[in-house]
């Protein structure tokens, strides 16, 4: 467990070592991302990764013409379980003779680069942002959920084009993400929502509407949700859906309330801050739905929650009381560390990654 916590614990150490270095924050971000890359690239295939290994090997010797005939944007491949874009990447790598472990290196490098690029371009506090990304458990999901992690990388790249209001480029990256994992389609709502001003009344209305999903879900499931899941060939997720309240709902509401209290509402937010805030807030209705469809819990964690890593420091920075801002930044860092430690100890979703094992370990 300490190995994972070191990703967060090393941040204040590096902060002290490079205190007077002008590139201190970038050094911290680069160091943590490098550690993430090493841990991901050397991980031993286990759990879902074993299934990904079988999928990878299943494309060896498959003719190119057969891959083209199998093309789909949303549906999974008929030759293996997985969206066509992901399967095509597997087909390229396996037929170049590249072993699965090296494929994991490529996948890890792509995802970590996307995280580095996203934080570096958008955060006003790089160390705090990367601490939040690790603390929210995003890094842990990267160990197991390869398709969705690659989709997440493309969505992080698409964020640049929300800021620039370049809809065609945004749609292109979301399409690429969708061909890795279909749940990426949900990210489309971020673009129109990013035009909505970040005000207390808007946040309150959005939060209340999102929470209404909890009592209304059973009715919606009977009226139309089951048909939608059949369309996406995911009707199995609609079976045996016991209600289970997710603690992330409380966390999201606490963060949103905190930001609404302490950010300076008299300052005009940039497109970056608006887009990051609303992308983060979409985690609330997704998590409310996950109370019935637990599989969606990973969607909120790996698709929307990471945008809080930009929203929190950037909105907090609008407050003119810089001493108070510094105090809150330290407290937020400590909260992220505590939450991450709690998840590593008790969260059944990520317990299987502890202890860490390298690929050559039996």
DSSP for 191-211, written as a single string? HHHTTS---HHHHHHHHHHHH
Percent over 70 (pLDDT), the chain:
93
Distance CA(101)–CA(271), nearest Å, equals 39
pLDDT at 30: 96
Residues 6+ apart with CB under 8 A from 200: 260, 265
State the pLDDT confidence band at 298, using cuts at 50, 70 and 90: confident
**C-alpha triplet 182, 187, 189: angle, nearest 5°:** 130
State the pLDDT confidence band at 74, using cuts at 50, 70 and 90: confident
pLDDT in tens, 145-156: 899 999 999 999
Partners of 83 in the beta sheet? Answer: 76
State the pLDDT confidence band at 69, using cuts at 50, 70 and 90: confident
Higher pLDDT, 296 or 101: 101
**C-alpha triplet 308, 255, 120: angle, nearest 5°:** 20
Q: Got the DSSP string for 137-176?
A: THHHHHHH-HHHHHHHHHHHHHHHHHHTT-HHHHHHHHHH
Q: Classify residue 61 as left (phi > 0), alpha (psi -120 to 50) or beta.
A: left
User: Average pLDDT in the 95-109 region?
Assistant: 93
| pLDDT over 80 at 351, yes or no | no
User: Average pLDDT in the 63-80 region?
Assistant: 79
State the pLDDT confidence band at 45, using cuts at 50, 70 and 90: confident
pLDDT at 240: 60
Higher pLDDT, 285 or 76: 285
CA of residue 145 relative to chain centroid, distance:
11
User: Average pLDDT in the 30-56 region?
Assistant: 88
| pLDDT over 60 at 233, yes or no | no
| pLDDT over 60 at 235, yes or no | no
| pLDDT over 80 at 220, yes or no | no
User: Average pLDDT in the 190-218 region?
Assistant: 92
The answer to whether residues 251 and 306 touch, using CB atoms and an 8 Å cutoff, is: no
Higher pLDDT, 196 or 225: 196
Percent over 90 (pLDDT), the chain:
57
Helix spans in the chain (H)? 2-17, 24-41, 48-58, 64-69, 84-95, 100-122, 126-135, 138-144, 146-163, 167-178, 190-193, 200-211, 213-220, 226-231, 247-262, 271-281, 283-290, 297-299, 308-316, 322-346
Task: For 206-234, give one letter per residue: b (16+ CB within 10 A) or e.
Answer: bbeebeebbeebeeebeeebeeebeeeee
Q: How far is CA 239 from CA 230, 232, 242, in A?
A: 12, 15, 9
| pLDDT over 60 at 284, yes or no | yes
pLDDT at 225: 72
pTM confidence score: 0.91
* pLDDT, mean over the chain: 88
State the pLDDT confidence band at 7, using cuts at 50, 70 and 90: very high
| pLDDT over 70 at 321, yes or no | yes
Q: Tell me 304's DSSP state.
A: I
User: Average pLDDT in the 327-331 region?
Assistant: 93
Distance CA(323)–CA(320), nearest Å, equals 9
Higher pLDDT, 272 or 357: 272
Residues 6+ apart with CB under 8 A from 19: none
pLDDT at 280: 95
Distance CA(164)–CA(45), nearest Å, equals 39
Higher pLDDT, 301 or 352: 301
pLDDT at 315: 93
The most confident of 48-52, 77-81, 220-224, by mean pLDDT: 48-52
The answer to whether residues 304 and 100 touch, using CB atoms and an 8 Å cutoff, is: no
Residues 6+ apart with CB under 8 A from 78: 70
Higher pLDDT, 266 or 68: 68
Distance CA(71)–CA(85), nearest Å, equals 8
Distance CA(164)–CA(188), nearest Å, equals 15
């Amino acid at each position: 467990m300490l190995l994972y916590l070191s990703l967060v614990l090393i941040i204040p150490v590096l902060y002290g070592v490079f205190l007077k270095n002008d590139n201190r924050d970038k050094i911290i971000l680069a160091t943590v991302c490098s550690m993430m890359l090493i841990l991901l690239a050397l991980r031993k295939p286990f759990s879902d990764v074993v299934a990904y290994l079988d999928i990878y090997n299943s494309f060896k010797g498959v003719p190119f013409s057969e891959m083209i005939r199998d093309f789909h944007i949303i549906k999974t491949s008929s030759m293996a379980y997985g969206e066509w874009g992901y399967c095509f990447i597997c087909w390229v790598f396996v037929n170049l003779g590249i072993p699965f472990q090296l494929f994991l290196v490529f996948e890890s490098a792509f995802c970590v680069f996307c995280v580095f690029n996203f934080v570096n371009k958008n955060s006003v506090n790089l160390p705090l942002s990367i601490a939040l990304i690790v603390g929210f458990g995003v890094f842990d999901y990267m160990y197991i959920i390869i398709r969705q992690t690659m989709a997440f990388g493309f969505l992080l790249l698409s964020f640049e084009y929300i800021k620039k209001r370049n809809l065609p480029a945004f749609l292109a990256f979301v399409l690429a993400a969708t061909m890795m994992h279909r749940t990426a389609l949900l990210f489309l709502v971020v673009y129109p929502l990013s035009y909505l001003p970040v005000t207390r009344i808007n946040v309150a209305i959005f939060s209340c509407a999102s929470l209404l999903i909890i009592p209304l879900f059973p009715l919606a499931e009977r009226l139309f949700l089951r048909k939608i899941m059949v369309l996406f060939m995911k009707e199995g997720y609609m079976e045996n859906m016991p209600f289970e309240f997710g603690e992330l709902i409380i966390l999201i509401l606490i963060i949103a309330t905190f930001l609404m209290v302490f950010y300076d509402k008299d300052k005009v937010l940039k497109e970056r801050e608006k887009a990051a805030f609303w992308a983060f807030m979409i985690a609330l209705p997704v998590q409310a739905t996950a109370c019935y469809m637990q599989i969606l819990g990973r969607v909120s964690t790996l698709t929307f929650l990471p945008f809080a890593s930009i929203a929190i420091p950037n909105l907090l920075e609008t407050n003119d009381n810089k001493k108070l801002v510094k105090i809150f930044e330290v407290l937020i860092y400590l909260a992220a560390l505590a939450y991450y430690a709690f998840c590593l100890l008790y969260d059944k979703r990520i317990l299987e990654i502890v202890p860490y094992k390298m690929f050559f370990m039996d």
